[in-house]
Structure 1
């Protein structure tokens, strides 16, 4: 019997992929005008896939937030024949990127009903994320998502998922037994399988057509797979 639910934020509650698409489009227009607009999906894939693992290095505490983002920006420009993004040009790049990114923060359509169901069932919820707590609080507020406190961010312990301590700290702060706590996230490796390894119930939210490259998309032992949050109630035994 599940007694609590922890959520990932990006691409689980908030449509961060869509916000990144807006940001990449703004970057193309401002800095890469020679790239046709129809190639923006390719640019988005390069940004999200992060082939050299700069964001993962950030979650391990090996890179600062701005440094990983500047490196990814530079690689994006190089991949599409644009000017290099160095420390002197990064501020101008960030102004364009971040302005569009913030404007694109929206909740996924299935979020309100899922949270309402959990609230009415008396199931406490929280968020455990691989971004800074204050950033994710701002993101949830801008997306109109209420009642999901950000319990653990990458700045809470100095590292992020898939380390088991991150999930266990979320359970501790929520006051729930890990074995009776579900963790719901869009990445099968750092979310669902890592949650199971930490002793939680792992739920992989495999939204249609949103998978990123460079990820092992096998379900894994003990992992529940849903295609939307409307399927969550059945997995949690609340349907």
Structure 2
């Protein structure tokens, strides 16, 4: 990777660098044993699907600055309880629920196996590397630290930086400014086709969709993938080869 035509790589964090799906599953299992005692353990995978799907798009409202972090998580917790036989959580009950959930969630944070080696390879090639996320900056910095990536992947832009998040093109441009790279020479890698890869391309970056094996948070058709006009990889270990392929012979 001596002349990539690329000066920097920006990463999404959740389910890109960090196995957040696995952490969700661990935390929801702890919650279910305490708050959804009538739910058979064999149905716990349904909780993960429900939580990640966020069918009422409460997290989307948060990233647009239309709801607080607490409001979106409390709404999602109550929707899950309503769907799986739990009690309604008032403010006090939610605070207790959230403490249980958050302790288990943070305890399960871990980097994907392919994250640190690929970041190391990109840095060794002289590329600037940073993170852009739709969660709060301090929270994601903590997550990167727990995952052992904070020293190599600085958290540059969160949803609190500008008061809104992806897919707004301004967050990508601001992340490039902080990274010190031109958007046209910057790659953005994320696990969401629309919010990450397509939005990055519309902001002038090269969008790379990380379609890891396993169930997708939102179903995506092959026609949508083909129309997206972005690079698709199945693991971060494919990224250096993609970047090498950008070099004209």
Alignment correspondent of 1:69: 73
The counterpart of 2:165, out of the listed 160, 163, 167, is 160
CA drift of 1:236 comes to: 1.0
Q: With the length of structure 1 as denominator, give the TM-score of the two structures.
A: 0.97
Alignment correspondent of 2:108: 104
Q: What is the rounded CA distance, in whole Å, between the counterparts of 2:221 and 2:89 in structure 1? A: 30
Q: What is the rounded CA distance, in whole Å, between the counterparts of 1:111 and 1:8 in structure 2? A: 11
Q: What is the rounded CA distance, in whole Å, between the counterparts of 1:222 and 1:236 in structure 2? A: 16
CA drift of 1:210 comes to: 3.9
Are 1:58 and 2:62 an aligned pair? yes
Q: What is the rounded CA distance, in whole Å, between the counterparts of 2:114 and 2:166 in structure 1? A: 24
The counterpart of 1:92, out of the listed 86, 96, 103, is 96
Alignment correspondent of 1:147: 152
Are 1:170 and 2:175 an aligned pair? yes
Q: What is the rounded CA distance, in whole Å, between the counterparts of 2:197 and 2:16 in structure 1? A: 12
Are 1:232 and 2:210 an aligned pair? no
Are 1:127 and 2:131 an aligned pair? yes
CA drift of 1:221 comes to: 3.7
- Contact 1:6–1:183 (Cα < 8 Å) also in 2: yes
1:155-204 deviation digits (Å, cap 9, x = unpaired): 00000000000000000111101011000000000000000000000000
Q: What is the rounded CA distance, in whole Å, between the counterparts of 2:66 and 2:154 in structure 1? A: 26
CA drift of 1:214 comes to: 5.5
Q: What is the rounded CA distance, in whole Å, between the counterparts of 2:89 and 2:25 in structure 1? A: 19
1:5-28 deviation digits (Å, cap 9, x = unpaired): 000000000001111001100110
1:76-134 deviation digits (Å, cap 9, x = unpaired): 00000110122121111011100100000000000111011101101010000000000
Alignment correspondent of 1:186: 191
Please report the RMSD computed on the Cα atoms of aligned residues, expressed in angstroms: 1.4
Q: Which region of structure 1 is more displaced relative to structure 2, 131-140 or 87-96?
A: 87-96
Q: Which runs of 5 or more residues in structure 2 are unaligned?
A: none
Q: What is the rounded CA distance, in whole Å, between the counterparts of 1:10 and 1:26 in structure 2? A: 20
- Contact 1:51–1:214 (Cα < 8 Å) also in 2: no
Q: What is the rounded CA distance, in whole Å, between the counterparts of 1:204 and 1:12 in structure 2? A: 10
The counterpart of 2:49, out of the listed 38, 45, 48, is 45
The counterpart of 1:7, out of the listed 11, 25, 28, is 11
Q: Which region of structure 1 is more displaced relative to structure 2, 81-90 or 121-130?
A: 81-90
Q: What is the rounded CA distance, in whole Å, between the counterparts of 1:31 and 1:118 in structure 2? A: 44
Q: What is the rounded CA distance, in whole Å, between the counterparts of 1:105 and 1:216 in structure 2? A: 30
CA drift of 1:215 comes to: 5.7
1:4-43 mapped onto 2 (5 Å cutoff): 4-43=8-47
Q: With the length of structure 2 as denominator, give the TM-score of the two structures.
A: 0.93
